[in-house]
Amino acid sequence: MKRWKFFERIKRDKIALFSIAIIIITCAAALFAPYLSPYPFAVQDPGAILKGPSLKYLLGTDRLGRDLLSRIIYGSRVSMLVGFTSSLLALIIGAIYGAISGLAGQRTDNFMMRIVDIVYSLPDLLLIILISVVIGRSVIGIFLALALVSWVTIARLVRGEALRLKEQLFVEAARGLGASNLRIIFVHLLPNTVGPLIVTLTFRIPAAILAESTLSFVGLGITPPFSSWGTLANDGWSAIKFYPHLIIFPSFAIFLTILSFNYLGDTLRDFLDPEMRYK
């Protein structure tokens, strides 16, 4: 029932439709990059170094004479992968942690929340930098680093929901029927928090994409041969006066995608849970 209402609402909201279209296009670009991009992403044309947009190279070329459009299309792969993976990872860790903490209550809860306090008071960026230097060199390092700093917010959210749901009849009933804690977490608790979690996810993804671009700026971004939008933007930001295409197109890709995610997140939240606005 609710699902249909959602589609109906979306149909009336042009910006939401537009956002969804952008997200679908970006995902498609990520999935089908080899078929969509006009050139392989690493091919270099020594005769066309740092050329502006032309018919041959629609968005121009970079310092090695590579087609920028192709690199942006391939870049969507990494950026989306970073966004989705690190957010999902954070979500899983946070949700399970929060659920256990909330359900267990009392001492365990207290202890687990103190750990959250500690992680929460660590400066994100320093932690990310340290972790990615330790793990280093791989996409996985970045997933982990981003996930490890953002799971606490989710843990707090889920714990709150857990505390609330715990007191409710159906959970008490399940417990009365002898359901195990694990069963309660996965069958009763988590499904009931799906709404807020989806909303959180739509906000986490763009945050992760932005965080990755910040990491690129520090020189700890994705390593070659891959390049993300963040690394592309970082390669070009200093050239804004000299070769504006290097910075304009990648940041526009970032901008549009993040904008879409944020707008979709807003719409979803308004729809699923108006109260969520406060969190």
Partner 1 sequence: MSQQDTKERENPPLSPFFKGGLILAFILVPFLFPACKNRNTESRQIKGEKVFRMVIASEPPTLDWSLATDNVSFHVITNIMEGLTQYDDDLNPVPAIAKKWETSEDGKKITFFLRDNVFWNDKVPVTAYDFEYSWKRLLNPATGAEYAYFLYDLVNAYEYNSGIIKDQALVGVKAKSGKVLEVTLKKPAVYFPSLTTFMVTFPLRKDIVEKYKDRWTDPGNIVTNGPFKLWKWEHEYKLELTANKDYYGEKVKIDWIKMYVVGENNTALTLYETGDLDMVSIPPLAVNYYKKSKEYINTPQLRGYYYGFNIRKKPFDDMRVRRAFSMAIDRKRITDVLKGGEIPASSWIPKGMFGYNENIGLKFNPEEARRLLAEAGYSSGKGFPEVNITFNTDAENKLIAENVQSQLKENLNINVKLDNQEWKVYLKTLKTKPPEIFRLGWGADYPDPDNFMNLFTSSSGNNNTDWVNPEYDRLIAMGAGTKDRALRLKIYDDAQKILCEEDVPIMPLFVASQNLLVKKYIKGFKPNAMDILYLKKVAVEK
Partner 2 sequence: MIKLIFRRFLWGIPVLFFVASLTFSLMHVVPGGPFDKEKNLPPAIQKNIEEKYHLDKPVITQYLLYMLSLSKGDLGPSYKYLGRNVNDIISQTFPVSLELGLWAFVIAIILGISTGIISAVRVNTLIDRVSQFVATAGISMPNFVLAVLLILIFSEYLKALPAALWESSRYAILPSLTLSLGPAAYISRLTRGSIIDILGKDYIKTARAKGLSEPLILFKHVIRNSISPIITILGPLGATLVTGSFIVEYIFSIPGMGKFFITAVTNRDYPLIMGITLIYSALIIIANIFVDILYSVIDPRVRMK
Stretch that binds partner 2, among 30-38, 66-74, 99-107, 247-255 (CB under 8 A): 247-255
Chain residues 61-100 in contact with partner 1, contact rule CB under 8 A = 63-64
* 279 touches partner 1 (CB under 8 A): no
Q: Out of 6, 36, 174, 195, name the contact with partner 1 by CB under 8 A.
A: 195
* 214 in contact with partner 1 (CB under 8 A): no
**Residue 218 is a binding residue for partner 2 (CB under 8 A):** yes
- Residue 62's region, left for phi above 0, alpha for psi from -120 to 50, else beta, is beta
Among partner 1, partner 2, none, what binds residue 125 when CB lies within 5 to 8 Å by partner kind?
partner 2
Binding of partner 1 at residue 223 (CB under 8 A)? yes
Among 31, 115, 122, 133, binds partner 1 (CB under 8 A): 133
Task: Answer positive or negative: Cα dihedral of 2, 3, 5, 10.
Answer: positive
Residue (46 or 178) nearer to partner 1, CB: 46
Selected from 195, 237, 271, 273, the binder of partner 2 by CB under 8 A is: 237
Query: 85 near 143, Cβ under 8 Å?
Result: yes
| Closest listed residue to residue 258, CA positions, set 83, 28, 33 | 83
* CA distances in angstroms from 28 to 74, 76, 122, listed in the order given: 11, 9, 37
**Least distance to partner 2, CB of residue 256, Å:** 8
The residue type found at 51 is: K
Contact 149, 128 (CB under 8 A): yes
Find all residues with CB under 8 Å of 82, minimum gap 6, and list them. Answer: 139, 142, 143, 146, 208, 209, 212, 222, 228
- Pick out residues in 121-140 that bind partner 2 (CB under 8 A): 121-123, 125-127, 129-131, 133-134
Sign, CA torsion 80/85/91/94: negative
Site residues (vs partner 2, CB under 8 A): 114, 117-118, 120-123, 125-127, 129-131, 133-134, 206, 210, 213-214, 217-218, 230, 233-234, 237-238, 240-241, 247, 251, 254-255, 258-259, 262-263, 266, 274, 277-278
